Amino acid sequence: MSPDAAGRDQARPRRRAMPIIHIHAFEGRTVEQKRRLVEGITRATVEAYACPPEAVQIVIHDTPRTDMAVAGILASDQEAGRKG
Protein backbone atom coordinates (compact mmCIF):
# COMPACT_ATOMS: atom_id res chain seq x y z
CA MET A 1 0.00 0.00 0.00
CA SER A 2 1.11 3.54 -0.60
CA PRO A 3 1.81 6.06 2.16
CA ASP A 4 -1.00 8.39 3.26
CA ALA A 5 -0.79 12.20 3.19
CA ALA A 6 1.28 12.19 6.40
CA GLY A 7 3.75 9.69 4.96
CA ARG A 8 2.53 6.73 7.07
CA ASP A 9 2.24 3.26 5.64
CA GLN A 10 -1.52 2.65 5.37
CA ALA A 11 -1.06 -1.07 6.04
CA ARG A 12 -0.01 -0.39 9.64
CA PRO A 13 -2.77 0.41 12.13
CA ARG A 14 -2.59 3.91 13.63
CA ARG A 15 -1.84 4.05 17.34
CA ARG A 16 -3.26 6.80 19.46
CA ALA A 17 -0.76 8.75 21.47
CA MET A 18 -1.05 7.95 25.14
CA PRO A 19 -1.42 10.80 27.59
CA ILE A 20 1.62 11.17 29.83
CA ILE A 21 0.93 13.56 32.69
CA HIS A 22 3.72 15.08 34.78
CA ILE A 23 2.93 16.51 38.20
CA HIS A 24 5.46 18.73 39.94
CA ALA A 25 4.80 19.26 43.63
CA PHE A 26 6.78 19.95 46.75
CA GLU A 27 7.87 16.77 48.46
CA GLY A 28 6.11 15.67 51.62
CA ARG A 29 2.84 14.16 50.37
CA THR A 30 1.95 10.72 51.69
CA VAL A 31 1.61 7.67 49.47
CA GLU A 32 -2.14 7.72 50.18
CA GLN A 33 -2.40 11.34 48.99
CA LYS A 34 -0.50 10.46 45.82
CA ARG A 35 -2.71 7.41 45.31
CA ARG A 36 -5.89 9.54 45.52
CA LEU A 37 -4.37 12.13 43.18
CA VAL A 38 -3.44 9.66 40.44
CA GLU A 39 -6.80 7.88 40.71
CA GLY A 40 -8.66 11.17 40.24
CA ILE A 41 -6.45 12.36 37.40
CA THR A 42 -6.81 9.00 35.66
CA ARG A 43 -10.62 9.15 35.93
CA ALA A 44 -10.69 12.71 34.56
CA THR A 45 -8.32 11.85 31.71
CA VAL A 46 -10.33 8.77 30.72
CA GLU A 47 -13.48 10.90 30.63
CA ALA A 48 -11.92 13.82 28.73
CA TYR A 49 -9.86 11.81 26.25
CA ALA A 50 -12.15 8.77 25.88
CA CYS A 51 -9.18 6.48 26.40
CA PRO A 52 -8.77 3.37 28.55
CA PRO A 53 -7.24 3.82 32.02
CA GLU A 54 -4.34 1.63 30.91
CA ALA A 55 -3.30 4.33 28.44
CA VAL A 56 -2.88 7.01 31.12
CA GLN A 57 0.63 7.43 32.49
CA ILE A 58 1.36 9.75 35.39
CA VAL A 59 4.77 10.79 36.71
CA ILE A 60 5.00 12.56 40.06
CA HIS A 61 8.07 14.74 40.53
CA ASP A 62 8.67 15.41 44.23
CA THR A 63 10.58 18.66 44.40
CA PRO A 64 12.47 19.80 47.49
CA ARG A 65 11.62 23.36 48.53
CA THR A 66 15.32 24.17 48.08
CA ASP A 67 15.03 23.33 44.38
CA MET A 68 12.28 25.77 43.37
CA ALA A 69 12.14 29.54 43.43
CA VAL A 70 9.64 32.29 42.73
CA ALA A 71 10.77 35.85 42.02
CA GLY A 72 14.37 34.88 42.71
CA ILE A 73 13.71 33.52 46.20
CA LEU A 74 13.91 29.84 47.06
CA ALA A 75 10.63 28.40 48.33
CA SER A 76 12.46 27.23 51.44
CA ASP A 77 13.56 30.82 52.11
CA GLN A 78 10.09 32.20 51.45
CA GLU A 79 8.64 29.90 54.08
CA ALA A 80 11.33 30.93 56.56
CA GLY A 81 10.44 34.58 55.97
CA ARG A 82 13.72 35.41 54.24
CA LYS A 83 13.73 37.86 51.35
CA GLY A 84 16.71 36.65 49.37
Instruction: Specify the DSSP element, H or E, that contains 38.
Output: helix 31-49
Indicate the length of the chain as a whole number.
Answer: 84
Active site amino acids = 19
Q: How far apart are CA 17 and CA 15, in angstroms?
A: 6
Provide the residue type at 41 as one letter.
I
